[in-house]
Structure 1
Amino acid sequence: MADRFKGKVVIVTGSASGIGEATARRFVAEGAKVVLVDRNKDTLEKVAKSLPADQVMACAVDVSESRAVDGMVTAVVDRFGRLDVIVNNAGVHVGGDPASITDEEWRTVMSSDVDGVFYGCRAALPHLEKTRGSIVNTASVSGTGGDWGMSPYNAAKGAVVNLTRALALDLGKKGVRVNAVCPSLTRTGMTEDMMGDKELLAKFAERIPLGRVCEPEEVAAVIAFLASQDASFMTGANVAVDGGVSASNGQPPQE
């Protein structure tokens, strides 16, 4: 694998599992110094210990707390002297009947999935300007279209999609690119219960042209591309990593 990120410093939030862990491993494999960020300290440390000690730094941080995010970014730059990429991947999911969603559940999703993305971008920006670096946000196909029973998550990911566009406009002349990935159903801890439901997976497979769920490593590969100089003229893009789901107009398949 090419050392596209040799000498680069990358922050990946939500990196204790799933897409975040796969992304952190991808950047390490491509030569980067990677900062693993997650609020789950025990799991985060296990991931960190499985990677080369001279390439990783673990920070137990809740991205919904702006001061904690600011402090984390400062600590990263103090240690490594620079910052080249931030991947804002941390997020949570709450669903259900809209009438039953509590204030606390709504704020939990918004504070992690939207506030956390903005806090990461804001804290990283002064350092990314110096390196002409890159931001990659994890959105979702749930941010480009609606789902049944997922209104808080849909609202949050929709915000990330348009925040990505807006930041790309504001930061382009500063030399900072901002893009996002929009995965469909991916095999992660968040979707673990769904992975055991064969009937549900069959329904998804029917709607996904490639006929299967996404693996976190497949999303990580696109994130690494967007962060690299291979994507040097890409900014403001929300890239579907969805097996073709978004190619459909919503009508059912016909034999």
Structure 2
Amino acid sequence: MRLLDKVIIVTGSTTGIGKAIAKRCVEEGAKVVLHGLEADLGQEVLEEIGKENAVFHCEDITSETCPENLVNLAISAFGKLDAVVNNAALVIASDIHNTDRAFFQKVLDINAVSPFLLIQEALPELTKNRGNVLNIGSVNAWSGEPNLLAYSVSKGAIMTLTGNLGDSLMREYGVRVNQINPGWVLTERETERKKLHGLSETWYEGLPAIFAPSGRILKPEEIAAAAIYWLSDECGPVSGQVVTLEQHPMIGRNLPKDSSTIK
């Protein structure tokens, strides 16, 4: 077991990538603090992985008390804290025309400021155990889609945060900070989003090669499998790194000979 006796906070772990990471952490021997806004979904995950292996905290990640509550819950339930997975995020469409100050600030608060504040709160405990942080970003951090403006900027911000803290926290406290940038992942919410856009129930089947060279998009469990390396001691002293998990390169990608049908 690669995470035996580790205690890990996973934010946004009631669905999707966060849920998959929490489940895989428990399979690898860890105890987990689950977090999310949906109490019913949180209880479902808790029942699935076992109440002896996890506790659940339901609170808005932007709440002033949330970072302290999550860290205190880890200590009270399991006696320590070894790692934080910053996964909670708001994925929402916006562009140059409909992004106002309040909206932009909300997205930044959830996706970039809140992860920072949780790292700040957890640092004393992580320092005791030479622990680590894994931030879950997005390939959109590199520039993003035109209709994901605020979201993309927020993921760019957390990528810079990873590089900055990955250096400074390792030097001063021995705490690693790394990041995964997932590509297109078939989560429950992504499935529902595409259906709201008018696509069919089976939209993810038979995707064009330009979007999915393998014929399918990534599964949350595949992101979770990669997360274990960064959370485990196998990672050694590696810190401040960002790894992209996608099935095609972001730079130098081969376009089809006839790209006129790409939308």
* TM-score, normalised by the number of residues in structure 2: 0.89
1:27 to 2:31 alignment: no
Taking a change above 3 Å as real, the CA distance of residues 4 and 200 of structure 1, as seen in their structure-2 partners, is closer
Q: Aligned Cα RMSD in Å?
A: 2.0
Partner of 1:132 in structure 2? Answer: 130
Q: Does the 8 Å contact 1:14/1:91 carry over to 2?
A: yes
Partner of 1:253 in structure 2? Answer: 256
Alignment of 1:1-255 (within 5 A): 3-173=1-171, 174-192=173-191, 193-194=193-194, 196=199, 205-246=209-250, 248-250=251-253, 252-254=255-257
One-letter amino acid matched to 2:219? E
Q: Does the 8 Å contact 1:36/1:44 carry over to 2?
A: yes
Give the whole-Å Cα distance in 2 for the aligned partners of 1:189 and 1:204.
21
Q: Does the 8 Å contact 1:113/1:157 carry over to 2?
A: yes
Give the whole-Å Cα distance in 1 for the aligned partners of 2:129 and 2:20.
24
Where does structure 1 differ by over 4 angstroms across 4 or more consecutive aligned residues?
Answer: 195-204
Shift of 1:73: 0.7
Taking a change above 3 Å as real, the CA distance of residues 175 and 107 of structure 1, as seen in their structure-2 partners, is same
Deviates more, 1:44-53 or 1:197-206: 197-206
Shift of 1:81: 1.5
Deviations 1:170-216 (A, max 9, x none): 11121111001000110113311327556787666424443421100
Secondary structure of the corresponding residue to residue 147 of structure 1: coil
Q: Does the 8 Å contact 2:33/2:73 carry over to 1?
A: no
Give the whole-Å Cα distance in 1 for the aligned partners of 2:126 and 2:73.
15
Shift of 1:52: 1.6
Taking a change above 3 Å as real, the CA distance of residues 228 and 204 of structure 1, as seen in their structure-2 partners, is farther
| Between structures 1 and 2, the one with greater helix share | 1
Deviates more, 1:144-153 or 1:120-129: 144-153
* TM-score, normalised by the number of residues in structure 1: 0.91
Deviations 1:197-245 (A, max 9, x none): 5678766642444342110001111111111111113211111111124
In the alignment, structure 1 segments of 5+ residues that lack a partner are: none
Deviates more, 1:74-83 or 1:135-144: 74-83
Q: State the percentage of identical aligned residues.
A: 30
One-letter amino acid matched to 1:240? T
Give the whole-Å Cα distance in 2 for the aligned partners of 1:191 and 1:96.
16
One-letter amino acid matched to 1:190? R
Deviates more, 1:128-137 or 1:59-68: 59-68
Give the whole-Å Cα distance in 1 for the aligned partners of 2:206 and 2:104.
30
Shift of 1:251: 5.4
Q: Does the 8 Å contact 1:61/1:72 carry over to 2?
A: no
Give the whole-Å Cα distance in 1 for the aligned partners of 2:232 and 2:83.
9
Taking a change above 3 Å as real, the CA distance of residues 67 and 97 of structure 1, as seen in their structure-2 partners, is same
Shift of 1:252: 1.7
Give the whole-Å Cα distance in 2 for the aligned partners of 1:217 and 1:163.
25
